Structure 1
Amino acid sequence: MSTPSSGTESLPVLQRAFAPKGKLRASINLGNPILAKQDPLSGEPVGVSVDLARALAERLSLELELLVFDAAGQSVEAVSDERADVGFFAVDPLRAEKIAFTPPYVLIEGFYLVRADSPVRSNRDVDQVHNRVTVGKGSAYDLFLTRELKAAQIVRAPTSPAVVKIFLEQGLEVAAGVKQQLEADASIATGLRLLNERFMVIRQAMGVARSRGDATASALQRFVENMKASGFVSSSLTRHGIAGASVAPVHCKNTRT
């Protein structure tokens, strides 16, 4: 069986590097439905991130344990603290201080949602002192907008799926998040509209704690590049009925595993 290595690391070495506790513990964030969600029948997490976790465990001949979280920040902390061995996150420089990211495997768009009668007509209208923008605490949007917004106030919802609920309950001016999540929430409420341009592109990647070493990070990078080049990621998105997300370009020509 092939492994996510360059041929220089043996399978036992990679197993110890990725899973020092004996099983591969993957951190799964249910706060982004493009990547993972709870199956309504089985109650189990499903999605492209779950598929990738299973594929990595299979490549490493390891048992898989899924550690499920409701918010991105919790999922990031689990990997940073080494309570989980690998995770699935949006690439962000703050997170990169403790986590070694692979190149992205999926690209997702971030959008703003407002009320139909809102004077906010475009992205440049958002960063005003009278606007309050709600985001999921610790999400890629939170990290990005915390750096980018200079005048608007950020209101943090406990999780990304709770953003529109907080936006409506507190009478806030703007909600920010995954386009598909906002569209779904807007479809069950009245008088809401998405702005017609994205404010960011989220690069979703896999990651390991930097403390696991460069060799582990490089092996994971090669695994992700192979999963993109082989069509695995594209097939997974199609199988789970995910629209609005695209497979990221292959960055490394040598994707041999």
Structure 2
Amino acid sequence: MPAIKAEEIRHECIKPGVLSVAINLGNPVLARQDAHGELQGLSVGLAKKLASALDWSLEMHAYSTAGKVVEDSTRRCWDIAFLAIDPKRAQQLSFTRPYITIEGTYLVAESSPWQNVDQLDQAAITINVGKGAAYDLFLTRHLNHASLNRLETSHSAIERFLAGEGDVVAGVRQPLQQAASVHAGYRVLADSFTEIQQAICTPRGNERLFAFISGQITEWLDSGEVARMKAAEENPAF
């Protein structure tokens, strides 16, 4: 298939010559806002790089949860988004190769008897989750006995657990570890219930835009550029 050129997809986008990007702040490992409200993180860096490759302007829209990003996918609110790959989402979104894989696990009380994730699928256990997050979708499909307590965001799921609501909280490993590091009496389980593959996506039907984005991320993954960007995020120069 011939390479897709930027001028061929200008009018597939919401605003010709502008790449409109949904940035999910529900996962601070990949995107966050600094004290001045500026967006930062690996997803933000990739969005800027894609806009530069197109030689277009960049318009970023911050979302508090992945679920809200998915809801807006049918409303022409954005051209591309950064989300975890999930079969349910794939019914309306086209996903590129994953650019990073992160773990879903549990934060539990230090005094609890649980040592691995398999022990938590019990009828008496309530698990706090961020509504619509990738790990919420995964646990919805795979849990047989435990109950899910769906909160507005991943952050509120953690905060409500620390306040005494729910028996455990599910989430991405790094934010859970951060919570455990600043709140005595909690620990993160060593194993994980899923590996969450993060990718770039477009609403289904935008084939040429998707082909361009997919081609770019594949090129940057194969060349090691994404790995270099990830390393720079994890080890910033001082």
TM range (shorter): over 0.9
Deviation, structure 1 residue 9:
3.3
Unaligned regions of 5+ residues in structure 1, if any?
A: 1-5, 244-257
Q: For the Cα contact (< 8 Å) 1:110–1:198, is it kept in 2? A: yes
In structure 2, the residue matched to 1:3 is none
Give the total of aligned pairs.
235
Q: For the Cα contact (< 8 Å) 2:4–2:211, is it kept in 1? A: no
Q: What SS does the aligned partner of 2:215 have? A: helix
Partner amino acid, structure 2, of 1:83: C
Dislocated runs of 4+, deviation >3 Å: 6-10
Deviation string, structure 1 residues 170-189 (Cα, Å, up to 9, x no partner): 43211111100000011111
Hey, what's the Cα distance between the residues in 1 that align with 2:29 and 2:235? 6
TM-score, structure 1 normalization: 0.86
> Which of 6, 12, 15 is equivalent to 1:11?
6
Matches within 5 A, 1:1-257: 7-17=2-12, 19-22=13-16, 23-40=18-35, 42-212=36-206, 214-241=207-234
Cα distance 1:224–1:117, how it changes in 2: closer, same or farther (>3 A)?
same
Hey, what's the Cα distance between the residues in 1 that align with 2:199 and 2:135? 15
Segment of structure 1 superposing worse, 229-238 or 47-56: 229-238
Deviation, structure 1 residue 111:
1.0
Deviation string, structure 1 residues 155-201 (Cα, Å, up to 9, x no partner): 01211122211112243211111100000011111111111211100
- Over the matched positions of the two proteins, sequence identity in percent amounts to 37
Deviation, structure 1 residue 130:
0.6
Deviation string, structure 1 residues 115-158 (Cα, Å, up to 9, x no partner): 01112222121010110001111100110000111110100121
TM-score, structure 2 normalization: 0.93
| Cα RMSD for the two superposed structures | 1.7
Deviation, structure 1 residue 242:
6.7
